[in-house]
Amino acid sequence: MKIIQFIFIVCLHFIYTNVNAQYKTITVAKDQQADFTSIQEAINSLRDLGPDQALILVKNGVYHEKIRIPSWKHKIKIKGEDSEKTIITNNDFSGKIDGLTNQKMTTYTSYTFLVEADDIQLENLTIQNESCNQGQAVALHVEGDKFVAKNIRLLGCQDTLYTATNRSRQYYQNCYIEGTTDFIFGEAIAVFEHCTIKSLANSYITAAATHQEQEFGYVFFNCSLIAEDNLTKVYLGRPWRPFAKTVFIHTEMGKHILPIGWNEWKGDAMFPDKEKKAYYAEYKNKGLGNNPQKRAIWSHQLTEKEIQKYTIENIFNGWNPKQN
């Protein structure tokens, strides 16, 4: 049995390991044929502030966990066996009573998966918050810098993905993200490339809270915006805070996207007239939802000169996640 287990671990290593050097590789599986049966236990086992990237290989299975990668557990790559079969799920939501503290949870504590550390990579996973129509319920909450998600499925309803903190740079490639309202929201600089974004209700896709000093907020490259059947009133975004920045480039937009495209979020007494400071723009999008002539008058269509600055390295101020 030990020989079989050793062969299994070696095979996983060759299948999953990329060109980056790992100082340690550990495995997680529900059937105990691995180093750990819990992803959180695997994270906890790693050396604090380790010398190089640690690799956690996760076998297919449903992992009912609320996961946190604290700031001192940096440089970790968590790679699932199959994005549709390696599932991390929880059901917390804003307003739910926390069984440990007996206090109500908030949006910021409702997460299924929290990333506080820098240099974290996730690949081939489904991260889900099962709660729907009970309040804000975050699936993935990211605060760390230089975060990379590849082939990740983010499932939820309101507030599925929280791209937190203005110091955070986040890159999402070939991901699937679904939700109802403001299901991509936050302060971070985030790039989404070749991602599928699915609306589950007539509402808003993004709610950026970009800080004033940031040149970029959300940038979508070559993505696809889809929706549940019969949806016809979906906005590309609305500004959570006044200096929100969101840009869609070469994106396929379904007919569910309203011609006006953008919403100004009226009724916020503390932050009135947010559309006067927000920056919402598009460039050469396509599909039935692409209506540049009918967009909100305070939004923009990028010129050939303006589009030149929208490169990965420029958006991320020198960091290129594709080189990882």
Report the catalytic residues: 159, 182
The answer to whether 279 and 244 have CB atoms below 8 angstroms apart is yes
- pLDDT at residue 324 in the model: 66
Please give the distance of CA 34 from its chain centroid, rounded to a whole number.
28
Domains and CATH numbers, the chain: 60-323 (2.160.20.10)
Beta bridge partners of 197: 177, 225
pLDDT at 60: 97
Q: Say what the pLDDT of residue 11 is.
A: 54
pTM assigned to the model: 0.93
**Strands, DSSP E only, in 130-165?**
140-142, 147-155, 161-163
Mean pLDDT in runs of 10 for the chain (324 residues)?
46 48 91 94 96 96 98 98 98 94 96 98 98 96 98 98 97 98 98 98 98 97 97 98 98 98 95 96 98 98 98 97 84
CA angle 310, 166, 164 (to 5 degrees): 105
